[in-house]
Structure formats: C-alpha cells, structure tokens
C-alpha cells in the first residue's frame, strides 16, 4: 500500500464538506471516510488561483425534459458563486454533479476525440486541494491507468492508494485551447472552446450525472 503524502491544510472559508454515494469497486482502504462516501462540491469554485490564469469562472447548466438528451448551457460566474445557486427547477435547469467517475469518464472520452489530458485536480477528504507537486505526480500515474485499464480501475486507484478524489480535469482540445472542468460543472474556458458541444457529445457517450 502506498504511503499518502503529508499535506498542509489550507483555509478556504467557503468550503463545506458533504457526502454523496458512488458506485466504486470494493477495495480495501485506510481512509477515514465511509466506504460509500465521497464529498460533493462546495459553495464556490475550486482553488481558483491555481486554475489557468485568473479570468472569470463559468458555470455549466443542464436542461433536460423526460428521457431526452440534456441541453447544455454555459453561464458566466464572475463572482465565483455557488454552483447550486444557478439551479432553477421551474426552468428545468440543474448543474451536472460530476463526481470522480464522471470526470474520469469524460477525460477518457476526450482522448478518443482529439483532446489531451493535461492533469487532474485532486482533493483530500477534507476537500483541501493537495499540493501541486503531489497533484502532478498522481496525475502522471493516473492517466495511463485510465487510458489502459479504464474508468473503474482508475477510480479504484485514486480511492485505494491515496484516499483522494478527482475534482477536476484539465484538457487541451484539438485547437490547442486548454480548459478545466470541475465537480458540479464549474469551469474556466474560452468561448471558442465550444464546451457545450463537447459536453453534449460526451454525455451521449458516457451518460455522466
């Protein structure tokens, strides 16, 4: 079993830890959280200063009626508001949840469509982002496992060996424009990236939540 790196707690005032069930293969763990729990996203966007540049964030919304495929829309979020504040039940608008397996599945789909995976955003069980060097090391190990062995094996690796969660994926498209997609649909991207179209195609392929 790999020894987890020691990390320094960062004080992020708007974060609150919550849990949501996921379906991961049963793997023995040493983490303190319940076996069936991973944290949901928080009351704002993740560690904004460590994403690409410092341009305003955006929020992805899903509109879905019945069993039809959802329609995706990108909203500006210059004040870094909670993703949940964008939901509108009457209008049928909700945020994509994008847990660890969802983000891994989107990343794997992206690589089959001309995108490259530049890395993952990794958080521990307190929803504290791990140091950059740790994040980079884990990403370098995780990408070949994801591409070679699939989503379930990659999710088991991050859960078993580290007790961490994937809370974002950094991608570069065919046009060489990078973007970052985070848990609960927070993102930072350029209009030319056409993120809505990418998510529409990705949902059709992997049906993320």
pTM score, two decimals? 0.75
Model pLDDT for residues 131-189, shown as the tens digit of each residue:
999 999 999 999 999 999 999 999 999 999 999 999 999 999 888 889 999 999 999 88
Give mean pLDDT, residues 9-20: 37
Q: pLDDT at position 46, please?
A: 52
Number of domains in the chain: 1
- The predicted-structure confidence for 38-90, as pLDDT tens digits, reads as follows 344 444 445 544 555 556 799 999 998 877 889 999 999 999 999 999 999 99
**pLDDT computed for residue 56 by the predictor:** 77
Q: What pLDDT is stored for residue 50 in this prediction? A: 56
- Residue 4 maps to a domain: no
Q: Please say if the pLDDT value at position 198 is more than 90.
A: yes
* Whole-number pLDDT of residue 174: 83
16 located within any domain: no
Residue 196 has pLDDT above 60, yes or no: yes
For 46, list phi and psi in degrees, rounded to 5: -85, 115
Residue 159 falls inside a structural domain: yes
- 145: in domain: yes
Classify residue 87: in a domain, yes or no. yes
Q: Is 31 domain-assigned? A: no
- Tokens standing for residue 29: 């763990």
60 falls within a domain: yes
**Residue range of the domain that includes 183:** 37-206
Q: Is residue 8 part of a domain?
A: no
Query: Using CA atoms, how far apart are residues 100 and 22, in angstroms rounded to an integer?
Result: 9
Tokens of 188: 């930072």
How far apart are alpha carbons 64 and 28 in whole angstroms?
A: 37
């Amino acid at each position: 079993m790999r020894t987890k790196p020691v990390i320094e707690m960062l004080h992020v005032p708007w974060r609150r830890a919550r849990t949501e069930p996921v379906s991961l293969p049963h793997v023995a763990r040493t983490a303190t959280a319940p076996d069936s729990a991973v944290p949901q996203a928080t009351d704002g966007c993740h560690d904004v200063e460590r994403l690409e540049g410092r341009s305003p964030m955006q929020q992805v919304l899903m509109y879905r009626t019945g069993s039809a495929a959802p329609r995706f829309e990108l909203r500006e979020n210059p004040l870094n508001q909670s993703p949940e504040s964008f939901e509108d039940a009457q209008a049928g608008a909700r945020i994509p949840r994008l847990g660890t397996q969802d983000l891994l599945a989107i990343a794997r789909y992206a690589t089959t469509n001309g995108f490259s995976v530049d890395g993952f955003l990794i958080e521990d069980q307190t929803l504290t982002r791990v140091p950059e060097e740790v994040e980079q090391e884990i990403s370098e190990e995780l990408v070949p496992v994801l591409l070679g062995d699939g989503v379930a094996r990659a999710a088991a690796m991050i859960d078993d060996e580290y007790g961490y969660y994937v809370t974002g994926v950094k991608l570069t498209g065919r046009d060489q424009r990078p973007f970052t997609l985070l848990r609960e649909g927070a993102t930072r991207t350029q209009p030319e990236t056409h993120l809505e179209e990418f998510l529409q195609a990705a949902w059709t392929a992997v049906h993320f939540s």
